[in-house]
Amino acid sequence: MSVKNVLIAGAWRPSLDASDTFSALNPATGKAIDETYPVSGMKDVEAALRAGHGAAVALLGMPDRVDRVAAFLDDFASRIEQHADALVAIANEETALPVTPRLKSVELPRTTGQLRQAAAAVRDRSWTMATIDTAANIRSYYAPLGGPVVVFGPNNFPFAFNSVAGGDFTAAIAAGNPVIGKANTSHPGTTRLLAELAFEAVRAAGLPDAMVQLIYRTPSEVGFALVSHPLVAATGFTGSKSAGLKLKAAAEQAGKPIYLEMSSVNPLFVLPGALAERGAGIAKELFESCALGSGQFCTRPGLTIVPAGAAGEAFVAEAARHFEQGAPGTLLGRAGLSSVADGIAELKRAGAEVLVGGSPIPGDRLSFQNTLLRVSGDAFLANPHALQTEAFATVNTVVVARDVDQMVDIARSLEGNLTGSIYSAESGDDEPAYRKIAPVLRQKVGRLLNDKMPTGVAVSPAMNHGGPYPATGHPGFTAVGIPPAMLRFAMLQSFDNVRHDRLPVELQDPNPTGSMFRRIDGRWTTDDVAR
Amino acid sequence: MSVKNVLIAGAWRPSLDASDTFSALNPATGKAIDETYPVSGMKDVEAALRAGHGAAVALLGMPDRVDRVAAFLDDFASRIEQHADALVAIANEETALPVTPRLKSVELPRTTGQLRQAAAAVRDRSWTMATIDTAANIRSYYAPLGGPVVVFGPNNFPFAFNSVAGGDFTAAIAAGNPVIGKANTSHPGTTRLLAELAFEAVRAAGLPDAMVQLIYRTPSEVGFALVSHPLVAATGFTGSKSAGLKLKAAAEQAGKPIYLEMSSVNPLFVLPGALAERGAGIAKELFESCALGSGQFCTRPGLTIVPAGAAGEAFVAEAARHFEQGAPGTLLGRAGLSSVADGIAELKRAGAEVLVGGSPIPGDRLSFQNTLLRVSGDAFLANPHALQTEAFATVNTVVVARDVDQMVDIARSLEGNLTGSIYSAESGDDEPAYRKIAPVLRQKVGRLLNDKMPTGVAVSPAMNHGGPYPATGHPGFTAVGIPPAMLRFAMLQSFDNVRHDRLPVELQDPNPTGSMFRRIDGRWTTDDVAR
């Protein structure tokens, strides 16, 4: 059986030093897919880093870099659309995510839309935050890092967060950096096909060949060497906390920036008035949100906090009915299946009671019962860390708190999360409770929602798909949203007394596009610098 | 002899668990100053963190927080001015930096000016980068971290970078966070006096008592526990690379943000045309820049790269004359004195030849000879790491490169620096050389200068007092410049479908000040959101 090629330095060629091979699994059948991919060693990694560094330097020297990068992003989006059927087919085989609506009508258009938003942001140039102090003649902006960015994609979004085509890839490329994609090992074929299209677009745009490179997998030590290598500029990682923390330690020890999106239980508070007004509707919404993508969304609510009493009990019963009746989805891989079981075991050990589900479903298909757990507010507060264990499937733990004050205490005991949601009465009855809980929850989460489930992550400039540790590695950055996500892959460059014709066009007196926003002497404007 | 009090939780009181005491040194006499300060242990640290966290939470709950913080910053600046004579006197005793012009006419006004710039930025609110997506009804901005920020100040700027009053302090407070100052142990008395004034201003502004706290020193392990403590929000550190890297490891292992300014040799390239045109003038400028603050500026040029030949030799001879004739300054402490000697020894071992100086000056005053070293480009490239050793005094190493191409190779071998300077001919003769060197140097430094020494660090929104590792810990942030420096101490907060009256005023439809800049649907504007 032939082993697939890696894409390094502009060539699809065999791994130089594969220590092993692997195949993906079809989660719907539990059977290995008949394609074999190499596990790359240091030779591949070194070659990719050298080529990526060369590409970064060449790119900085291209006077029309911005146009070429924007053209690449648009063209790559078009090529993805032209090959949508093939992409959707292989992604479906590797992930068991439904062809429609999910892959074809939702995730693929989101991915191409994000690429095109990035192309527009690149052409617009406002993302660089050009800042001009005319009195001191000091000017600054955000510029490419000057080296390759490594992207580790997660298993749960084969297009939208793919290490080739997804959010980190797009942000890093748009900021002017080459990318070395490390495929998620659950969908190497999807990633390979995306990389083929990306590489065609690289060629068509006249970008350096090593603008996009692809390896599939490495032993852990090689991964650590990759993110801490002198030639790497930065890393974007989306995945498990255990893998993320190890990569974080390796990268940071070498002084290399790494952006991580690791884990989140996305707490959801239902206030008494909302429960009374529309508890049943919220229970239905909760289940639907939990079941999206078989519960494998980073922003799936994993923890629901309700006050005790008749309305709380009715809510729990209604939620249980939905979890019981809903069709269990297919999980992405065997490791996920066992880690869900481990997570639920941990929640039970910590005092949670299983109301619905709790077990894997026998058979070839990788599936786990929809699972609803329950725990009292007292028990939660006695063991908050263990009761925030993530179980990445259609799993939710309802915390029945004694009263609103205990809901505040629970908010205070939370770790950093991507999102936090509060459902409150339309009537205004919940305002006092909201004012107690929201300020506490606000500091624990990247995105605060009202009366809305967190599973939708709009590609908006105002999005924060980020949050305090351990949801991510830094509370100031978002992984979704153009242009803010691009700033992760840029360096601040100041020019002090630099002669005018030597400045980047973004910082010269005339506005380079006529419409770019720049901060000139404290005012954001599209004007030229007055001479 | 009485041991001075720490400032914790709104009280000047004795350390709870001082394991030891220390006194500062008068560098001009080499004698200990007759004041004793405690070395705090975990009890002080825990107490300060608890109080700081309480202050952060209380602050977030104050509806007029922004006004109070701005009033504090302005008032603190005024109190510093009112006590300028006392501050300058004690700073002079503890640092031997000249009363005039340095301390009184330059550094103190810079410090109060920075505090007032921050007050204006706080009132203006544009620093929060409010971003509003009206179609999706998602809104984001940068908000306080919700916990105390720890600031470690350096020894070389007793006012402008003091852990109470300096750049990190000001940025952290302005972003809405309490500060726990860790005094630099070379000027505890200056820091104590600043903290007295700051605490008076805290009281006058009606801010939480623990908005400003002060400890003087801790054992290393207690420092590591401080920056990695669950209650700390972030740390700002300016100081040595060895201490900085240890704190970095401790903080990052716990997922805590830490911003470091650690070391920089600030390379300076003199191109052939500039040498021919005005080599002697540049040599004079170089010496003056190197001698500022006795060579103890973070942005002092430590490395000068010139091409070989008659003009290069003349430059070296002229520089040597200035280093020889200039009066040697006073260093800040004994540890500095020995580390300068160590640094020069390392440079010599690596192949540099001492042209001028090279030794400490005997006597009570802490002083080191002005020192000029020389090394060939070949030797530099054979051992670039060792030849970038920082020697924090009036010390410069001239690298005589074979030609412009070797100057490019030298630029390529540089580590991350705060600044890089290029002197080139007015005539335009150096344009080809500039175009070779500048792109390489640009990616290695936070601030690129033309025809200007790097020692001036203007408090400008376009300043980058930062740069790639190991100059700092992250290439995207600056320690100087209002408002950008404030973003280090803020978290990105997104509001998704949050009811209008629950939004922070910065994100409500009406512009809260009438003049605040917000990014509404992709356009920076002072308009209200159209309804």
Do A256 and A278 sit in the same domain of this protein? no
Flag if A443 and B146 touch (Cβ within 8 Å).
yes
pLDDT of residue B531: 77
B246 touches chain A (CB under 8 A): no
Do A250 and A272 sit in the same domain of this protein? no
Do A41 and A134 sit in the same domain of this protein? yes
Considering only CB atoms, which chain B residues are within 8 Å of A460? 133, 136, 138
> Which pLDDT tens digit goes with each residue over A369-403?
999 999 999 999 999 999 999 999 999 999 999 99
User: How far is the C-alpha of A322 from the C-alpha of A345, rounded, in Å?
Assistant: 22
> Which pLDDT tens digit goes with each residue over B119-178?
999 999 999 999 999 999 999 999 999 999 999 999 999 999 999 999 999 999 999 999
> Which pLDDT tens digit goes with each residue over B5-46?
999 999 999 999 999 999 999 999 999 999 999 999 999 999
Q: How far is A257 from chain B (nearest CA, A)?
A: 7
Do B296 and B425 sit in the same domain of this protein? yes
Flag if A443 and B491 touch (Cβ within 8 Å).
yes
Residue B463 lies in a domain: no
Is pLDDT at B263 greater than 90 in this prediction?
A: no
Residue A505 lies in a domain: no
Is pLDDT at B526 greater than 70 in this prediction?
A: yes
Residue A491 lies in a domain: no
B410 phi, psi to nearest 5 deg: -65, -45
Residues 404-423 (A) with a CB less than 8 A from some CB of B: 419
Do A418 and A482 sit in the same domain of this protein? no
Which of B447, B492, B497, B521 to probe the A interface (max A CBs under 10 A)?
B492
> Which pLDDT tens digit goes with each residue over A146-178?
999 999 999 999 999 999 999 999 999 999 999
Number of H helices, E strands in chain A: 14, 23
> Which pLDDT tens digit goes with each residue over A306-361?
999 999 999 999 999 999 999 999 999 998 999 999 999 999 999 999 999 999 99
Q: How far is B350 from chain A (nearest CA, A)?
A: 22
Mean pLDDT confidence for B177-190: 98
pTM for the model stands at 0.97
CATH of the domain at A413: 3.40.309.10
Contacts of B102 (CB under 8 A, 6+ apart): B293
pLDDT of residue B507: 98
Flag if A491 and B499 touch (Cβ within 8 Å).
no
Residue B61 lies in a domain: yes
Which of A455, A496, A520 to probe the B interface (max B CBs under 10 A)?
A496
pLDDT of residue B1: 61
Considering only CB atoms, which chain B residues are within 8 Å of A411? none
Active-site choice (B46, B107, B261, B318)? B261
Q: How far is B293 from chain A (nearest CA, A)?
A: 21
Q: Which domain holds residue B415?
A: 267-450
A132 touches chain B (CB under 8 A): yes
**In this structure, which amino acid lies at residue A302?**
G
B507 phi, psi to nearest 5 deg: -110, 0
| Residue B257 pLDDT level (bands cut at 50, 70, 90) | very high
- Nearest CB neighbour to B475, from listed A466, A491, A499: A491
Flag if A252 and B257 touch (Cβ within 8 Å).
no
Interhelix angle A272-291/A310-325, nearest 10 degrees: 10
| Nearest chain B alpha carbon to A451 | B497
- Helix/strand/coil for B342: helix
Do B120 and B184 sit in the same domain of this protein? yes
Count: domains in chain A:
2
User: How far is the C-alpha of A77 from the C-alpha of A73, rounded, in Å?
Assistant: 6
- Nearest CB neighbour to B494, from listed A146, A463, A495: A463
Residues of chain A with pLDDT under 50: none
- The partner residues of B213 in beta bridges, in order of sequence, read B180
Do A247 and A294 sit in the same domain of this protein? no
Q: How far is A329 from chain B (nearest CA, A)?
A: 28
Residue B280 lies in a domain: yes
Q: How far is A247 from chain B (nearest CA, A)?
A: 12
B139 touches chain A (CB under 8 A): yes
Q: How far is B516 from chain A (nearest CA, A)?
A: 9
Do A197 and A302 sit in the same domain of this protein? no
CATH of the domain at B236: 3.40.605.10
- Nearest CB neighbour to A491, from listed B256, B454, B476: B476
> Which pLDDT tens digit goes with each residue over A194-225?
999 999 999 999 999 999 999 999 999 999 99
Token pair listed for A230: 């002198």
Do B69 and B187 sit in the same domain of this protein? yes
User: How far is the C-alpha of A244 from the C-alpha of A295, rounded, in Å?
Assistant: 20
Residue B345's Cβ-side half-sphere holds a number of Cα atoms within 13 Å equal to: 7
pLDDT of residue A531: 77
pLDDT of residue A1: 61
The fraction of chain B above a pLDDT of 90, given in percent, is: 99
pLDDT of residue A382: 98
Flag if B499 and A448 touch (Cβ within 8 Å).
no
Do B227 and B133 sit in the same domain of this protein? yes
Mean pLDDT confidence for B95-112: 97
Residue B523 lies in a domain: no
A491 touches chain B (CB under 8 A): yes
Do A240 and A370 sit in the same domain of this protein? no
Flag if A499 and B450 touch (Cβ within 8 Å).
yes
Mean pLDDT of chain A, nearest integer: 97
User: How far is the C-alpha of B198 from the C-alpha of A418, rounded, in Å?
Assistant: 36
Considering only CB atoms, which chain A residues are within 8 Å of B438? 502
Residue A514 lies in a domain: no
> Which pLDDT tens digit goes with each residue over B322-350?
999 999 999 999 989 999 999 999 999 99
Answer yes or no: B298 catalytic: yes
Considering only CB atoms, which chain B residues are within 8 Å of A484? 131, 140, 492
Considering only CB atoms, which chain A residues are within 8 Å of B248? 252
Q: How many CB atoms lie within 10 A of CB B20?
A: 11
> Which pLDDT tens digit goes with each residue over B465-498?
999 999 999 999 999 999 999 999 999 999 999 9
Active-site choice (B35, B277, B290, B298)? B298
Residues of A recognised as catalytic: 261, 298
Residues 429-468 (B) with a CB less than 8 A from some CB of A: 434, 438-439, 442-443, 446-452, 454, 458, 460-464, 466, 468
Residue A455 lies in a domain: no
A65 touches chain B (CB under 8 A): no
Which of B494, B501, B503, B524 to probe the A interface (max A CBs under 10 A)?
B494
User: How far is the C-alpha of B32 from the C-alpha of B24, rounded, in Å?
Assistant: 6
User: How far is the C-alpha of A380 from the C-alpha of A375, rounded, in Å?
Assistant: 7
Flag if B257 and A474 touch (Cβ within 8 Å).
yes
Do A348 and A433 sit in the same domain of this protein? yes
| Nearest chain B alpha carbon to A472 | B255
A352 phi, psi to nearest 5 deg: -80, 145
